[in-house]
Amino acid sequence: MDKIPFYRENYPRPQFVRENWTDLNGSWHFAFDDHNTILASNGSVHPPCDRMINVPFSYETVRSGIGDETAHPVVWYRRSLDVHPEPGTRLLLHLEGADYRTQVWGNGVYLGENIGGYHRCTFDLTAALSQERGLDLVIRVEDTFDEGQPRGKQRWRQASWGCWYVQTTGIWKSVWLERVPETYLLSVDCVPDAERGAVTFFPELNIPDPAGWALQIVIADEGRPVCTDCQPIPHNGCPITVQLPENIRLWSPEEPNLYTVRYTLLKDGVPGDEVDSYFGFRSIAVQDGRLLLNGKPLYLRMVLDQGYWPESGLTPPDEEALKRDIDLTLRLGYNGARKHQKIEDERYLFWADVKGLLVWSEMAAAYRYHGRAAEAFTEEWTRVVRQNKNHPSIIAWVPFNESWGVPEIGTNRAQQHFVNAIYHLTHALDGTRPVITNDGWEHTLSDIVTIHAYREDGAALARDLLENGEALLQNRYLYNDCNRKLFAEGYGYHGQPVMLSEYGGIALQNGAGWGYGTQAADEEVFLQRLLSQNQVISQTPYLSGFCITQLTDVQQEVNGLLDPERKSKISPEAEARLRASNLAVFQGRE
């Protein structure tokens, strides 16, 4: 593709690209270990994997080749690889997502573990490689129904209910190998400054003392080099600032301009590790009660997107499915997506960067609060933010939703302190984006105040937003029939932007599943309910945007604008009317 010349289809980490990689998705040997006896009884760690699974699809899905929705707490994967040691290199195993506790062995050598289901984890296989034989790779993943575990919309009971769906166990994102030099780049944080036309890079190497190494940076615009710099790396994380020529091109939904950058590690002038990446110049800020993109008022027209597919659950069937969801979102007249209770495949963020879709990145929730749960959440959220912060499409971080995992935040000081600590931690990790803590209600510290209000029609929504709008912002109104206030005890409104970040959720009558309120009898009733709510939103002066529920039906929840196969529920004419309504809401205020 023209914008990103180093783009490779299906490459799992498209913002940090190396040449030498191997896709390990496909057929693996597999076993259930319901009684957790394999590890204890088999010291050589060669589990008797007696069936096959199609990785990266979890065993619960049809695409895995198994399709068993029963909970199995321990699963094993095994695969033989024809890989050997190569002088001066290391071999890395990347799992983009494996839920929840992952352990890895190579040729019987224990290589470590990772805890958490939503971030990338990496294992160095080098010590296990042999010249005489290939690699016997074994992966064990343990999952639970523990409510203190970040799990998003995965159920923690044997049967689905409400808006909680079939669990996802084990590997559910891409698995791949990467051959790297002995000394290599672990990461490069990239912070573009649109106002100054400069970019600051923070390289981190895999060695504790990078003295003697230098980083060469070549920045290009549509394939034309515009800036080259080379600076020493005195320590990991040292800032390297590069000033670009005048007249930089900004990234926005209308013009998603991207710059490519090649990082080359140098030792005594000799090139080593080379990585291709990209970035976008854009600023997102909160000022005087408005959200600003590149210094101009931004009105958000978003759709809630849970990222589920009928035959593959949380895992996209392929990269084209991710592109299609973005295209459908834009076609319906939305400029953004709230990725709800899921850290999406990084290829989705890549295509959002390329196509100009704004994204709210929301962490998967736990459902019980205690010390261990707080620790697990903090560690994984830190990894998520660090992993994805370079994507310009992400314009907000959402660590919590609807008091899930912090059920007593309304009055409990300990839970309030925890949420506030995550707010400050997120800003410490990334000072360039707003943070929305506890989306929907009972806000503590939050850069944007968000409202969830599910009503059948505009008249009911007007009672929440218009008739009681002042009381709502003054924390005197219990809204959405949930007996919740907008702010937690001790907190209040201080002029932040306000968004209706969940509404709609209307089901078109089909005799099964559920939506919010009664199911609409036909297409016209369905459409009129949505249009009437859009009309109320357009009349609410204090709103800076909206997010409708939801893009697609998900399992028993049938309140999507599209069905699970991404087919529209309404005629092209009705869809055009909805799109026009979305575009008309607050038209001219952006």
Q: Among 116, 114, 171, which Cα is nearest to 378's?
A: 116
Average pLDDT for residues 310-324, to the nearest whole number? 98
**Quick one: pLDDT at residue 590?**
46
Q: What angle do CA 319, 325, 328 make, to 5 degrees?
A: 140
C-beta separation of 442 from 417 below 8 A: no
Average pLDDT for residues 496-500, to the nearest whole number? 97
Q: What angle do CA 543, 548, 549 make, to 5 degrees?
A: 145
Q: What share of the chain has pLDDT > 90, as a percent?
A: 90
Q: Is pLDDT above 80 for 264?
A: yes
**Quick one: pLDDT at residue 1?**
66
In the chain, helix, strand, coil percent, each to 5? 20, 35, 45
Q: How far apart are the C-alpha atoms of 180 and 394, rounded to whole Å? A: 29
Q: Is pLDDT above 60 for 270?
A: yes
**Quick one: pLDDT at residue 184?**
98
Average pLDDT for residues 510-525, to the nearest whole number? 87
**Quick one: pLDDT at residue 82?**
96
**Quick one: pLDDT at residue 517?**
87
Q: Is pLDDT above 60 for 174?
A: yes
Q: What are phi and psi of 519, to 5 degrees?
A: -70, 140
**Quick one: pLDDT at residue 376?**
97
Is residue 452 exposed (0-12), middle (13-18) or buried (19+ Cβ within 10 Å)? buried
Q: Place 42 in a pLDDT band, splitting at 50, 70 and 90.
A: low
**531-554 pLDDT, tens digit each:** 999 999 999 999 999 999 999 999
Average pLDDT for residues 557-571, to the nearest whole number? 94
**Quick one: pLDDT at residue 589?**
53
Q: What are phi and psi of 28, to 5 degrees?
A: -125, 150
Average pLDDT for residues 61-72, to the nearest whole number? 97
Q: Place 588 in a pLDDT band, splitting at 50, 70 and 90.
A: very low
**322-356 pLDDT, tens digit each:** 999 999 999 999 999 999 999 999 999 999 999 99
Average pLDDT for residues 434-438, to the nearest whole number? 96
**300-310 pLDDT, tens digit each:** 999 999 999 99
Average pLDDT for residues 14-31, to the nearest whole number? 97
**467-494 pLDDT, tens digit each:** 999 999 999 999 877 788 999 999 999 9
The structure tokens listed for 496 are 């932040």
Burial 504-533 (b: 16+ CB within 10 A, else e): bbbbbeeeeeebbbebbeeeebbbebbbbb
Domains located in the chain, CATH noted? 21-180 (2.60.120.260), 185-279 (2.60.40.10), 297-584 (3.20.20.80)
Q: Place 509 in a pLDDT band, splitting at 50, 70 and 90.
A: confident
Beta bridge partners of 78: 29, 138
The string of DSSP letters for 546-564 reads EEEE-SB-BTTB---SB-T
**Quick one: pLDDT at residue 343?**
98
C-beta separation of 258 from 353 below 8 A: yes
Q: Place 586 in a pLDDT band, splitting at 50, 70 and 90.
A: low
Q: Place 587 in a pLDDT band, splitting at 50, 70 and 90.
A: low
Q: Place 446 in a pLDDT band, splitting at 50, 70 and 90.
A: very high
Q: Among 397, 265, 252, which Cα is nearest to 339's?
A: 397
**Quick one: pLDDT at residue 146?**
96
Classify 313 in phi/psi space as left (phi over 0), alpha (psi -120 to 50) or beta.
Answer: left
Residue 158's CB is within 10 A of a number of other CB atoms, namely 10
> Any idea how long the chain is?
590
Match 């190497």 to its residue by tokens.
205
